Amino acid sequence: MRKLFIIIILVLFALPAFGGDYPVKQIQRSVTVTAAAADISPVNLKGRYVIIQNNDAAGVVYLNFTGDATVSTTMFRLNPGDSLEMFNITNKISAIGSIASNANVAISEGI
C-alpha cells in the first residue's frame, strides 16, 4: 500500500515538471496597431505559446515574422475577429494596420 501511495504522489506532482509542455505563467495585454509597422513581440521571446486576436470591427492587422510588416498580400493577415495561435516563439513579430489606430488587438502568452 505504501508503494502505491508513493507512485501516486510521483505521478501527480513530479512527472508534469519533466514534461515542460505547460505554460507556467499567462500574460495578457492589449496593443495598439497603427498604420506604421511596430514590434508587438511577446514579452518573453522564449515563450511557449502566444495568441494574437484582432478584436476591431473594421481594421485589418498584417503580421510579419522576419522583418517590418507592410500592408501586402505577402504578410499574414488578421481580419476583424480573426486570431493567430503560435507555439515556441523565438522571433520578433511586427504588425501594421489598415486603419490609423486599432487599439483592439489582444495578445496572450504563456511563458
Which CATH number is 57's domain given? 2.60.120.770
Can you tell me the distance from the alpha carbon of 84 to that of 75, in angstroms, rounded to the nearest whole number?
Answer: 13
Residue 57 lies in a domain: yes
**8 belongs to a structural domain:** no
Q: What is the pLDDT along the chain (111 residues), one digit of tens a residue?
A: 566 656 665 555 555 555 555 556 788 999 999 999 999 987 776 777 889 999 999 999 999 988 899 998 889 999 999 999 988 878 889 999 999 999 999 999 887
Residue 59 forms part of a structural domain: yes
Q: Would you say residue 10 lies in a domain?
A: no
Coil, strand or helix: which one is 75?
coil
Look at residue 9 and tell me if it is in a domain: no
Q: Which domain holds residue 98?
A: 23-110
Contact 93, 24 (CB under 8 A): no
Residue 109's pLDDT is 87
In the numeric block, the cell 515542460 is attached to 20
pLDDT at 26: 82
Q: Is residue 72 part of a domain?
A: yes
pTM reported for the whole predicted model:
0.75
Number of domains in the chain: 1
Residue 71 lies in a domain: yes
